[in-house]
Amino acid sequence: MARTVLEPRADREVFELQLEIRPEHIDDNGHVNNVVYVGWLQDAGTAHWNARFDAETRAKWSWVALRHEIDYLRALQPDATAVARTWVGDPRGPRFARYVRIEDGEGRLCAQGVSEWCLVEAATLRPTRIPATMLPTFERS
């Protein structure tokens, strides 16, 4: 099955997060376990949010992951270095698709994923339409 390689749109900021491969990430096959990638998708999205929004905004709003889809393309070995590159799509009401590419230290694509996130009011956990004022933060300047 041919996979479409995820590429960021020209108008989107791409946020990078260095990933640490720890001994407990390695499975019986000698490479990073698939479940670890799910955590990395969440880590990349959370780090992007925390890096771009102030404490007051983060206290008012929160994100809930609704779905993750991952393509595994190249195994990451215990001694590898890795980076997650993430960006968002267009908002749909309270939802954003978040795209993540996980690359090794040589820039080779090892995995890619799409997560669907829903914006909620932190106090009530009720879904809320993504405010227009939030959108420019995710755009490339």
Query: For the segment 94-126, what is each residue's pLDDT rounded down to a tens digit?
Result: 999 999 999 999 999 999 999 999 999 999 999
Q: What is the pLDDT of residues 26-73, one digit of tens each?
A: 999 999 999 999 999 999 999 999 999 999 999 999 999 999 999 999
Q: Give CA–CA dist 18/20, Å, rounded.
A: 7
What confidence category does residue 74 fall into, taking pLDDT thresholds of 50, 70 and 90?
A: very high
For the entire predicted model, the pTM comes to: 0.94
Does the structure show a pLDDT above 90 at 18? yes
Residue 2 pLDDT greater than 70, yes or no: no
